[in-house]
Structure 1
Amino acid sequence: MVSFMNNQKQQKPTLSGQRFKTRKRDEKERFDPTQFQDCIIQGLTETGTDLEAVAKFLDASGAKLDYRRYAETLFDILVAGGMLAPGGTLADDMMRTDVCVFAAQEDLETMQAFAQVFNKLIRRYKYLEKGFEDEVKKLLLFLKGFSESERNKLAMLTGVLLANGTLNASILNSLYNENLVKEGVSAAFAVKLFKSWINEKDINAVAASLRKVSMDNRLMELFPANKQSVEHFTKYFTEAGLKELSEYVRNQQTIGARKELQKELQEQMSRGDPFKDIILYVKEEMKKNNIPEPVVIGIVWSSVMSTVEWNKKEELVAEQAIKHLKQYSPLLAAFTTQGQSELTLLLKIQEYCYDNIHFMKAFQKIVVLFYKAEVLSEEPILKWYKDAHVAKGKSVFLEQMKKFVEWLKNAEEESESEAEEVRSNGTQHGTQLKNGGNWIAGNPDSSWHSEQPQVQPSKPVILLLHYFCV
């Protein structure tokens, strides 16, 4: 009985047919872009083609109209004169305005003026920034639906907006659409765009913007796969008057090739591939990508130094370095056939020893090792010591090299003097260098015969024997 009464208490009466009134704050306004379009077009018609008046009208209308909700419609009108249907066409039964980008004159000055209208509007209503970027991405996908003149105007406007920072370079992703690329629309649009962009900013600023969105290495994708070559890109854009862009892409391609070379080089070294195979591969890449030897020696040096884990103790790392570099000397020597390459290597060694503090005392030992292995020769070393070194660790390294450089100068003079004496005498009894009264090379009792010439050690070896024995 008690249980039944409790159940009765829990039941609550309900009213049938009652209507609940929605609170005013929960009511949603009906989405009506057509009404919004009519308001904007009417206002633009009243302002006329005076873009200063247009900017003021848009600024004031933002307080009355819902720009946040109808951002796409707003930008469609300002660019194309009315709401765009899928594909980029204007509906015949919709209102249109001639106060828009597509109805304006096709010149850079006019597009710069329109860019100011967009710039002022977005600065005033910051929330429109994302909507505007989405609008431009959409417009780029609709390029085939526009006339050539409309595409040119949009390209110039986009270039100016990229230059002044209103747009982010990521919007260019839309140009990589397969159909646009295949029909050549993307490349033609890019010509006009980059011309106006570079006109506002230099190529370095353009490159920086592309780099920020990882697009600096993708420009060749504006062409179909069978035309994605540096040669085709540079020819196309140079003929269009964009030589600086062509050179930039060529440089980017070279940088990419160098990175790929270093990556492959390190892999070959870690596998322990024979030096002759590595040298052959590097020389092929040099020829293929037009990479000069002084650049290659820097890549080889970096690769050689990255293949080992160095000891953290300063007193041990020098010995470890000499042992390691002695092994790789033949590889390094293959790419120091020019004086500039040798000088580049010296600078790389200097910078490495400075940047890695445990190597500070190893600099002179490395240079002497490379001199002995005929990786380096006297002239570049003397040039480096005199005026070709960099500031990094200069005082320390010059002091380390002082005695070796003095010896090099003296040994060079003695070598030239002895050579002159041999020529004047017409007879060679061996090369005599001071070594506690001993002869370093040749036989003091033998005479020189043209039929059986004596095999002499190479100049660096003779000079080094002199250096270590004096």
Structure 2
Amino acid sequence: MKHLIRRYKYLEKGFEEEIKKLLLFLKGFTESERNKLAMLTGILLANGNLSASILSSLFNENLVKEGVSACFAVKLFKSWLSEKDINSVAASLRKVGMDNRLMELFPANKRSCEHFSKYFTDAGLKELSDFARNQQSIGARKELQKELQDQMSRGDPLKDIIVYVREEIKKNNISEQTMIGLIWSSVMSSVEWNKKEELVTEQAIKHLKQYSPLLKAFTSQGLSELTLLLKIQEYCYDNIHFMKAFQKIVVLLYKADVLSEEAILKWYNEAHQAKGKSVFLEQMKKFVEWLKNAEEESESEEEEAD
């Protein structure tokens, strides 16, 4: 059949449409027939005879309400995943925008990540439930970042933004490290940057000074500080006008108590990325020496006090 469809390309669309129609009438089949059809559909998906767009039929309200869709999906995905790995399945789902719609296999009152995860994990499809959870997390992060940018563009008070972010961390179970990355991206995306290198540094310092309390609120852990440093490094490397601004940004955030001496030294000594490494390490050299000297002086003062 695969060769036939390949040979006569026009058959492909017609075949998919027929399968879509067939799936709408699942209630007309016995359970045994549904299971066989699910297994066959999974194999056809794995072989590339069908696109994952046929899954849209399973979102039919009546099929969903009676639990037929979810039950059929279990058999279908088991069959599909016995032929292909989760990455291949995920790619097929993404290709037709089905990756974010799997929750629709359940009625609205059960359309939660927890329910989906339990249902498919219990059915032996943990890979699929992990994938769906990850997709939801990505979706939530995208929405959160957009909302953050909107709040910044509107000039909402920082205390309100901080409250919003804390609620989102709790609601979506987002780590502080992930959140500081999102905040950094939002802060840097909320402004139109000057194209002139000599002016952009000044603009960046002014902008980041304004948002340093927000960054400070979500760098309570050393790992979060390190994450932020790596994000800054990445940003300055990817945006060439910022190459010379790196050191000034780090010093500003150090003075604003966003970045600690420990985090900066750790980044400098071992945790930096390869991107622009030589340029940024050179920029930071004098400041790091100053930090080390200050640390030594502090230690010797403590010893004298003892």
The separation in 1 between residues aligned to 2:62 and 2:257, in whole angstroms, is 57
* Distance (whole Å) between structure 1 residues aligned to residue 190 and residue 121 of structure 2: 42
Amino acid at match of 1:268: Q
**Structure 2 partner of 1:370:** 253
**In 1, distance between residues paired with 2:303 and 2:165?**
41
Q: 2:201 aligns with which of 301, 313, 318?
A: 318
For residue 268 of structure 2, the aligned residue among 363, 385, 407 is 385
Q: How many residues align?
A: 306
> Which position in structure 1 is the counterpart of 2:151?
268
Match of 2:279 in 1: 396
**Aligned partner of residue 304 in structure 1, secondary structure:** helix
Alignment of 1:295-310 (within 5 A): 295-310=178-193
Question: Normalized against structure 2, the TM-score is what?
Answer: 0.98
State yes or no: 1:228 paired with 2:119: no
Q: 1:120: Cα distance to partner?
A: 3.6
Q: Cα RMSD over matched residues? A: 1.0
**CA shift for structure 1 position 414:** 1.0
Counterparts of 1:322 and 1:203, CA distance in 2: 44
Distance of 2:96 and 2:10 partners within structure 1: 22
User: Structure 2: where are the runs of 5+ without partners?
Assistant: none
Of residues 406, 411, 416, the one that matches 2:299 is 416
1:422-437 to structure 2, matched below 5 A, reads 422=305, 424=306
With 321-330 and 128-137 compared, the bigger mean Cα shift is at 128-137
Q: Which one-letter code corresponds to 1:308 in the other structure?
A: V
1:136 match: 19
**Number of the residue aligned with 1:219:** 102
Letter of the 2:10 counterpart? Y
Per the alignment, residue 71 of structure 2 pairs with 188
Q: Offset at 1:126? A: 3.4
Q: Which amino acid aligns with 1:197?
A: W
Taking the TM superposition and a 5 Å limit, the aligned residue runs for 1:79-158 are 118-158=1-41
Extract structure 1 runs of 4+ deviating beyond 4 A: none
How far apart are 1:127 and its partner, in Å? 3.1
In the TM superposition, residue 124 of structure 1 has moved relative to its aligned partner by 4.3
Match of 1:9 in 2: none
Q: Which has the larger radius of gyration?
A: 1
The structure with the greater share of residues assigned to helix is 2
Partner Cα separation in structure 1 for residue 135 and residue 10 of structure 2: 36
Task: Give yes or no for the alignment of 1:251 onto 2:134.
Answer: yes
Aligned counterparts of 1:166 and 1:235: Cα–Cα separation in 2:
30
Whole-Å separation in 2 of the counterparts to 1:124 and 1:279: 59
Structure 1 equivalent of residue 62 of structure 2: 179
* Post-superposition offset of 1:122: 2.2
Q: Distance in 2 between matches of 1:261 and 1:134?
A: 37
Superposition TM-score, scaled by structure 1 size: 0.64
Matching residue's letter, 1:181: V
Task: Compute the displacement of 1:147 (Å).
Answer: 0.8
Question: Percent of aligned positions with the same letter in both sequences?
Answer: 84
**5+ unaligned residues in a row in structure 1: which ranges?**
1-117, 425-470
Aligned AA (1:414): E
- CA distance in 2 between counterparts of 1:284 and 1:168 reads 39
Determine if the alignment matches structure 1 residue 210 to structure 2 residue 90. no
Structure 2 partner of 1:85: none
Tell me which residue corresponds to 1:346.
229
Deviation (angstroms), 1:307: 1.4
Can you list the C-alpha shifts for 1:309-365, whole angstroms capped at 9, x where unaligned? 111111111111111111111110000000110011001101111111111100000
Alignment partner, residue 172 of structure 2: 289
